[in-house]
Structure 1
Amino acid sequence: MMTRLRIFILLLFLSFFAKSQETDSLQLKDSINTISEVVLQAAPRNIKLNEGNIVVSVSGNKDFKASINILEVLKKTPGVTVDQEDGIFIGGRITPAIFIDGKPVVMSSQELQSYLRSLSPEMVESLEVNSNPSSKYDAEFKGIIDIRLKRNGNLGWKGSYNGNVSVNKFNYRENTLNLSYNTGKIAYTMQLGYNNGISTYRYNALQRLANTNVMRTTTYQKDNAEILNIQAGFDYRINDKNRLGLNVRRNFRKHDRNRSGTLYTSNHDESQVVFNTGSENPIDYTQDNYGVATDYSYQNKNFRLNFLGNHLSVENKQKDDFINRDLPDSQLLSYWKSDLLNKINIYTAQLDAAQKWGNANLEAGIKFSNSHTNNNIKYDTLSVNDGFVFDPTRSNRFSYKEKVFAGYLAYSQKFQKLQINAGLRFENTKSISEAITADSVVSRNYLEWLPSFSAHYVFNKSNELSLSYSRKITRPNFSQLNPFRYYFSPLNYWIGNPYLQPSLTSQVKATYRYKNWVTSLMIGKEKDVMTRYPIYNPETNVLEYLGANLPYRKFATLEVSFPIKITQWWNANAQVNGYYNYEFRPYLNEVFALKIYNYEVRLNQVFTLPEGYTINLFANYESRTGNSLYIIQPRYSVDLSVQKSWLDNALNTKISFNNMFDTYNQQLEFRHKQIMDNRFIHWWDNRKLIFSLSYNFGSSKYQTKEIQRTEEENRTR
């Protein structure tokens, strides 16, 4: 471990301190072969600000040339974090909405990850990271990442194939075919995708029980997945003023998961076994969803009108078997089954209008959404007569209906070097959650006013400063509300809470750019923070995680990014991020309020070699962090990739070795040993050797706009 850490530190600081030591008797070598100094100088404008938001060029940017896909580009983008499960975060732990060409995409979280992996860096013009969106965006969007695709209006057809093979203990394959045909009036698009393969996950826990026994929990999950998706649509340019678009999609996924584990308990000094239980949990999961999106736009001189409509239908089915045996003699201890059916339907309609007068712009819009989810999970337990009997203590039927009516008014004006933006949004939410099995109904009707303001001043080409303020509301998603049990192991599960309240966040952000050096500071406060907390039963040794609202938390984020030019063939970009979090957490008749400080350092090095080869070495270190209840241990990762283009850049090949030292697992420890002594590790198989191939064919470079995603669809995951 120490050897790996030394290697990481050496890689991290090599770019900062590069020099050659020469004696008087030696001749100076050619500067091409000798690194005599690190030169900090203005590089090409690959980073700029747009009203305080970082905009990063992607296509043609050497920093991303060897990246496999846009997910890897995001990992190296200032202010963005991609975790071990490909979850995307900005500003610490904010999950952003993903936009394509200024519009949110209409995909589930799993579909979105597959889509981002299908996009090569050559297909993307730029990324814009907005960590403080204004009132004209849905209040659920605490952050936005806008991906701008490369475009060309050539007539004719074009196509591209992207294929990736990830090699770990098992293989995972991703294949995407994109086709488009442009007639000048109508652009037709189609995307076909097929992914399949196996991924694995491990969970290990050590807990000292109330009776001084020691319990060790191990879980191993093997997930065999098969995913098929198809999208088709058209973009009809009726005339110079009117445009109409339609997109339909269908996605089907099947997962055969096999989760097995042990509960091994010994006495306090681990010299004697108390019990040793083995568990088997085979899972059959399918998801079938379809979506329809239609949009219309009208533009006449300085007036613009847009309509967007969406329908999303999702059906989830999952069957589980939970089998527990005494390992020494394989005696059956318990056996229960579950059968889950989950259906979600979402309808949204949005109308936006904008009028421009000189340097002033006035925008207004309204939106209506209607969401309905039904969950029915049934448990059956094996009885003493070897027959399965309905288990009402675990079974659950849950229905959730939500209607949101929203509107906004935004005004902006430019005064020479100063840009001012102000907006006000309202969102009225009506919801009914019904736990049918428990005969419990929770009905809510609330209205929130959400203002925003920003100012952006450009001193000159090298200096600019932005200030912004916004207020956001976050409604609980469906899984957080649904009071059913999700099992990690026979004695460990979490339960949703239908009484969760939405949280409100107020935050202020300042961003300053000097050439390619960018510094951002964000501070804020969130009320009614939604979180999970553990409850340990010393009699049954069951550990369950329940949902609750914390009174408030305060947070701050400081992010600095800057380029380092070492030689003509060796460039680096560094990021240093600092985080502060203060939670006021009542827990078990006590209040825990800790100030948590942590930091993250990233270094992205690019080596441009002869014969068109590019090598990318990316290192990331996260310090010790956590919250009021848990400590999260530090971790780091190192990725190495090699890129080469062929056939006049039509064929692009890449090889990447991600998480080379297998160090990017998550280790947590409960802080307060007087309550519970528990520590555990989550491990994902993200140490991978990835082979990537992309090929472009056809005569046209035209790409139509992508389908849209709504706030409600973000909350179905």
Structure 2
Amino acid sequence: MIFKLWFLLLLLFLSIFGKAQEAVKGKTADSLAEAKTSTTNISEVIIQSAPRKMKLNEGNLVLSVAGNKDFKTSTHLLDVLRKTPGVTVDQEDGIFIGGRITPAVFIDGKPVVMSNQELQAYLRSLSPEMVESVEVNTNPSSKYDAEFKGIIDIKLKKNVSLGLKASYNGNIYVNKFNYRENAFNISYHTGRVTYNLQTGYNEGISTYRYHALQRLTNTNIMRTQTYQEDAGKVYNFQAGADFKLNDKNRLGINLRGNFRNNDRIRNGSLYTTDKTETQLVLNTASENPTDYSQDNYGMTADYSFQNKGFKLAFLGNYLSVKNKQNDDFINRDRTNTEVLSYWKSDLVNKIGIYTAQIDASQKIKETDIEAGLKYSHSDTNNNIRYDTLSVANQFVFDPSRSNVFSYKEKIWAGYLAYRQKIGDFQINAGLRFENTNSISNAITVDSVVSRNYLKWLPSLSASYTFNKSSEFSLSYSRKITRPAFSQLNPFRFYFSPLNYWIGNPYLLPSFTSQIKATYRYKNWITSFTAGKEKDVMTRYPLYNPETNVLEYLGTNLPYRNFAVLETSFPVRITKWWNITSQISGYYNYEFRPYLDEVFALNIYNYEVRVNQVFSLPKGFTVNVFGAYESKTGNSLYIIKPRYTVDVSVQKAWFDNKLNTKIGINNLFDSYDQRLEFRHKQIMDNRFTHWWDSSRLVFSLSYNMGSSKYQVKETQKTEEENRAR
């Protein structure tokens, strides 16, 4: 069915494009007829530069969104980010910059207070016309939390009309199954107070496949197949009020809740033959049904005072997360359906986060001085119990897999920042301290790890504007990355009966020092980043040739060196055809001790992305987006090349109140991820991850009401980013 829909959509595109060509030919013929009165020769074809859509802000790319033709067919802001230079959005809607950095997402200069899943849903609820610009900061200063190695700052359109405003956004994704997203936003502005409410309901089924081929040490060949269907329902709400007490004081309060339920069915098989692939050795089937739920509650209160050049701001945050998951792991012999093993798991995970921060700034002519202080307290408790089916056909407690784990963390942080502008030259300097006190306790195995450390993190940047067409900036920063709670948790998380990963409570934080240079000439922006990361947190495979079990364990690598070169430039071919090209080159060198050896390779790779926009008659806009990623990897794995092509059509109705879009993402179903272990003398293993990202997409948005007052967004802390 979906192929028929794809075919119909392509026919529609060709039909519209054909009409556009006829219209252009008609206009061209008229123009040539007029031109013949003065000349009979065409001396040249002029390719015009596109209007300025990109600029720099202290060395950071700022990209206009609202009114930008490049994003007219984009369904939501995640689609915009997918086409933004320097930003990558993967198959699971994870956002990355600089190749492998997960950025903090800011709204109007402040981080949003949402879980990863909530953030993705929120970004899908924002249409491109609701967003003024996107700023990509790949080298944040000491003013920001040291955890933020990158920031994407989304500036929403600012309007202050009084009255009621409401909007609805709905999206449908169609593959083998379908997934539906619904978001309703309403705000009411009285002049002194703005009330806002946002509700959402998403539900549907997504699928995933995993294939692996492994040549075992005894020369047997094992094939692993996994198929997963994930049926999910998500309910969420946010309610808040923004009080303008007077011209100098304002107060904001926000409450939110997010409730998620997932029923997952995962079926797999292990098929093992001898090296000739003629003699069957093992043929088993596995079933892994899962019932998962997550309940989030959050509250944010903020206050600000501003008088002339002085500003004072306070922010308080509370977040509560509760996860529950029940799994069954059933393994059978496929030849006679005999149950080979059967175990159950019962997981309860609770996270509580409290934060408070105060910031003050004073402007003196062309100088700004800022200072801030922050305290955060995080508490996570995990209890997972495994029960195994015994020979007596009864489930008994399994202490080898079960564990109780708690993690507590307190952070005191502060910063001092200085900014000075002298004509066309600007300099920024900052110094941040962060004192971390943490205790991880794996109660079942009686392992306690306590740490208390203070780190100083400087930053420095300078920028110079030569003229309206060109500018240059240079910056330096030092960052800290603490392990996420899931990386510390010493539980087994199973992918298959013979494949799982385990957290490491002994992981150390990593530290990154980097420099970045950026140059803009008109619409052409080029940046170069280079740096070194110490105590790199990563996972490594450990294969047991006797049991054929493959574990993924966490560790710290001594260091890695990296560099990123990025350039982007838009070009207008004609009035109805715009192209934006992005080219990125990456270098990575990991010093990786592994199994009594050291593996260190220079890895080079590149990405090319081309976004084409056709403005056609009768208000239709067609977008064709293509991306290619070359072969890459690390010291242990090779990641094969891949590419994707997206096609979409947009049309607005009723004075732009109704907006409809239809498109196909990953048209050729070519964006799976294929990996291969480099060192065959250790392990000959290759595997593929496939997600149902090849989808037919229908989108509808409708705006109601007269007010366009921008509701203030709530904030997200560094600790909440790590509570995933």
If the length of structure 1 is used for normalisation, what is the TM-score? 0.95
1:116-155 to structure 2, matched below 5 A, reads: 116-155=123-162
Partners of 2:72 and 2:508 lie apart in 1 by: 45
Partners of 2:151 and 2:88 lie apart in 1 by: 13
Give the equivalent residue in structure 1 for 2:470. 463
1:252-651 to structure 2, matched below 5 A, reads: 252-651=259-658
Give the equivalent residue in structure 2 for 1:22. none
1:165-314 to structure 2, matched below 5 A, reads: 165-314=172-321
Asked if structure 1 preserves the Cα contact closer than 8 Å seen for 2:60 and 2:137, the reply is yes
Partners of 1:544 and 1:550 lie apart in 2 by: 18
Give the equivalent residue in structure 2 for 1:67. 74
Deviation per CA, 1:403-446, whole angstroms, max 9, x where unpaired?
A: 00000000001000001000000000000000001000000000
2:148 partner SS: coil
490 and 459 in structure 1: CA distance in 2 versus 1, 3 angstrom threshold: same
Greater CA drift, 596-605 or 110-119: 110-119
Partners of 2:45 and 2:437 lie apart in 1 by: 59
Deviation per CA, 1:271-297, whole angstroms, max 9, x where unpaired?
A: 111010000000000000100001000
1:480 partner SS: helix
Per-residue deviation, 1:323: 0.1
Partners of 2:513 and 2:194 lie apart in 1 by: 42
Aligned AA for 1:187?
T
Deviation per CA, 1:41-74, whole angstroms, max 9, x where unpaired?
A: 4322210100100000000000000000100100
Partners of 1:695 and 1:454 lie apart in 2 by: 43
How big is the alpha-carbon RMSD for the aligned residues of Structure 1 and Structure 2?
Answer: 1.2
Per-residue deviation, 1:122: 0.9
Per-residue deviation, 1:699: 1.1
Asked if structure 2 preserves the Cα contact closer than 8 Å seen for 1:38 and 1:564, the reply is no
Deviation per CA, 1:346-381, whole angstroms, max 9, x where unpaired?
A: 000010000010000000000000000000000000
Aligned AA for 2:340?
L
Give the equivalent residue in structure 2 for 1:103. 110
Asked if structure 2 preserves the Cα contact closer than 8 Å seen for 1:49 and 1:55, the reply is yes
Deviation per CA, 1:644-690, whole angstroms, max 9, x where unpaired?
A: 00000000000010000000000000000000000000000000001
Per-residue deviation, 1:150: 1.0
140 and 39 in structure 1: CA distance in 2 versus 1, 3 angstrom threshold: farther
1:709 partner SS: coil
36 and 282 in structure 1: CA distance in 2 versus 1, 3 angstrom threshold: farther
Asked if structure 2 preserves the Cα contact closer than 8 Å seen for 1:315 and 1:343, the reply is yes
Per-residue deviation, 1:704: 1.4
Give the equivalent residue in structure 2 for 1:24. none
2:487 partner SS: helix
1:438 partner SS: coil
642 and 472 in structure 1: CA distance in 2 versus 1, 3 angstrom threshold: same
Partners of 1:571 and 1:556 lie apart in 2 by: 30
Give 5+ residue unaligned stretches, structure 1: 1-27
Per-residue deviation, 1:30: 6.6
Give the equivalent residue in structure 1 for 2:8. none
Misfit runs of 4+, over 6 Å: 30-33, 35-38
Partners of 1:185 and 1:32 lie apart in 2 by: 60
Partners of 1:492 and 1:63 lie apart in 2 by: 43
Partners of 1:112 and 1:656 lie apart in 2 by: 23
1:117 partner SS: helix
Partners of 1:544 and 1:648 lie apart in 2 by: 58
Per-residue deviation, 1:472: 0.1
1:686 partner SS: coil
From 698, 701, 704, the counterpart of 2:711: 704
Asked if structure 2 preserves the Cα contact closer than 8 Å seen for 1:38 and 1:565, the reply is no
2:507 partner SS: coil
Partners of 2:355 and 2:332 lie apart in 1 by: 49
Asked if structure 1 preserves the Cα contact closer than 8 Å seen for 2:47 and 2:574, the reply is no
Give the equivalent residue in structure 2 for 1:53. 60
If the length of structure 2 is used for normalisation, what is the TM-score? 0.94
Partners of 1:36 and 1:554 lie apart in 2 by: 51
Partners of 1:185 and 1:642 lie apart in 2 by: 41
Per-residue deviation, 1:703: 1.6
Aligned AA for 2:348?
L
Aligned AA for 1:559?
E
Instruction: Check if 1:688 corresponds to 2:659.
Output: no
Aligned AA for 2:183?
T
Partners of 1:568 and 1:151 lie apart in 2 by: 29
Asked if structure 1 preserves the Cα contact closer than 8 Å seen for 2:48 and 2:573, the reply is no
Identity %: 74
Aligned pairs, how many? 689
2:288 partner SS: strand
Per-residue deviation, 1:40: 4.5
Asked if structure 2 preserves the Cα contact closer than 8 Å seen for 1:315 and 1:342, the reply is yes
Per-residue deviation, 1:32: 9.4
Partners of 1:489 and 1:142 lie apart in 2 by: 33
Per-residue deviation, 1:36: 10
